[in-house]
């Protein structure tokens, strides 16, 4: 996905850029509303992430203007303001979702996808590996054209394996990417999910190999 991030704090903006890049997303950063307008003139974005407090104006003004232009790009507000009333107000202005800082990047991506799914319209970016088709946005998986029902976490695990295709992933790495940091999950849980994923992907030309004592790797054509 291609994001436009409107955020005046350079440290946060660079972190978000780096973190989303790890998941294969591109992020353009604008530190003022003016810079944001310039970015939007030059490129098309799947999503706009906007802070409320900006040096040259209010993010809410931006949303109102954006909606007045009848622009289609969804807007998600990233803000330090956590009050329920702020949330209601921002959504009323036409924002698509609202996330309070500090946020979980996995949740941010999930919310972005949910917004895009709700909006429809955006062209899907289907990944094909042998006879496996994976659409991360629509959250669908097909093997030989036949749809497979995968739960959210199984999808995430599949996505992690695909993005690290051919590379070895330790249980710890999988663990950190799959589970929220607030929950304590035993390493055993990873084995359970790998088992489920293998079962659901039966017949696929890619497979998940166990590297004894170290971790897992996706192998295949």
The closest of 167, 156, 143, 38 to 105, measured between CA atoms, is 156
Q: Is 88 or 126 the residue whose CB approaches another protein more closely? A: 88
Q: Does 43 contact another protein by CB under 8 A?
A: no
Q: Is 40 or 115 the residue whose CB approaches another protein more closely? A: 115
Count of residues touching another protein (by CB under 8 A):
48
Which of 32, 100, 122, 131 lies at the binding interface for another protein (CB under 8 A)?
Answer: 100
Contacts to another protein from residues 10-39, by CB under 8 A = 11-12, 15-16, 18-19, 22
Beta-carbon contacts of 212 under 8 Å, excluding residues fewer than 6 positions away, are none
Which of 26, 39, 93, 106 lies at the binding interface for another protein (CB under 8 A)?
Answer: 106
Interhelix angle 188-200/152-163, rounded to 10 degrees, is: 90
Which of 34, 67, 82, 211 lies at the binding interface for another protein (CB under 8 A)?
Answer: 82
SS3 204: coil
Q: How many CA atoms lie within 13 A of 141 on its CB side?
A: 22
SS3 readout for 50-90: ECCEECCEEHHHHHHHHHHCCCCCCEEEEECCCCHHHHHHH
Q: Is 22 or 43 the residue whose CB approaches another protein more closely? A: 22
Q: Does 53 contact another protein by CB under 8 A?
A: yes
Given the DSSP bridges, would you call strands 97-100 and 75-79 parallel, antiparallel or unpaired? parallel
Q: Does 170 contact another protein by CB under 8 A?
A: yes
Q: Do 210 and 169 meet the contact criterion of CB atoms below 8 Å apart?
A: no
Binding stretches for another protein (CB under 8 A): 9, 11-12, 15-16, 18-19, 22, 53, 78, 80-85, 87-88, 97-98, 100-107, 110-111, 114, 151-153, 156, 170, 172-173, 176-177, 179-185, 189
């Amino acid at each position: 996905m291609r994001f436009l991030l409107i955020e005046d704090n350079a440290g946060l903006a660079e972190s978000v850029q780096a973190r989303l890049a790890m998941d294969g997303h591109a992020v353009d950063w604008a530190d003022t509303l003016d810079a944001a307008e310039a970015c939007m003139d030059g490129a098309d974005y799947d999503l706009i992430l906007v802070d409320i407090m900006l040096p040259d104006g209010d993010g809410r003004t931006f949303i109102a203007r954006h909606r007045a232009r009848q622009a289609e790009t969804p807007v998600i507000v990233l803000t330090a303001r956590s009050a329920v009333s702020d949330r209601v107000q921002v959504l009323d202005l036409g924002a698509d979702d609202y996330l309070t800082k500090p946020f979980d990047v996995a949740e941010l991506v999930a919310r972005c996808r949910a917004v895009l799914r709700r909006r429809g319209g955006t062209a899907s970016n289907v990944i094909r590996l042998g006879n496996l088709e994976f659409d991360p946005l629509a959250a669908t998986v097909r093997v030989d054209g036949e749809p497979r029902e995968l739960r959210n976490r199984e999808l995430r695990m599949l996505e992690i394996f695909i993005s690290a295709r051919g590379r070895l992933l330790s249980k710890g790495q999988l663990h950190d990417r799959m589970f929220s940091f607030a929950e304590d999950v035993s390493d055993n849980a990873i084995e359970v999910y790998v088992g489920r994923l293998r079962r659901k992907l039966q017949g696929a030309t890619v497979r998940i190999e166990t590297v004894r004592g170290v971790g897992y790797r996706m192998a295949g054509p």
